[in-house]
Amino acid sequence: MKSTLVRQDSDKLADVVVRGMQEKKAADIVVLNLKELKNAVADYFIICSASSDTQIEAIARSVEEEVEKLTGQNPWQTEGRMNREWVLLDYVDVVVHVFLRDRRQFYALEELWGDAEITHVAEEETPAAVK
């Protein structure tokens, strides 16, 4: 079981990630809270859509910059930058997915983690990803 301190850190990190996505007009931002699920690989999956490969990169960079600026963290691992259809930023407790719309529908991560608490972030909403 993770400590309360770790949970609070992942909650704050999730909010910062959402803010970074919003900076570059990410669409359909969804926060999957996986903390209560047995065998979950992270506390949160945060997913958004982009309309182009250029926007995918802009969103990913914005998230990295916001997280580094506010928490000092860099992703433990990144994937997908070469394919430019889906970028994954792995912050261990928070995993960020930035998809082209059709790729997001194909992978359907929201359905794979259907037991998670799911929060849809409104386009104009300020980050309150975690309740």
Q: What is the CATH number of the domain that holds 103?
A: 3.30.460.10
Segment 3-58, tens digit of pLDDT:
444 446 899 999 999 999 999 999 999 999 999 988 888 999 999 999 999 999 99
Burial degree of 129 (CB within 10 A; 0-12, 13-18, 19+): buried
In a domain, 28, yes or no: yes
In a domain, 12, yes or no: yes
Mean pLDDT score, 118-124: 81
Q: 62 is in which domain, residue-wise?
A: 4-121
CA dihedral 119→122→123→128, nearest 10 degrees, is: -70
Question: What is the domain count for the chain?
Answer: 1
In a domain, 128, yes or no: no
Q: What is the pLDDT of residue 125?
A: 55
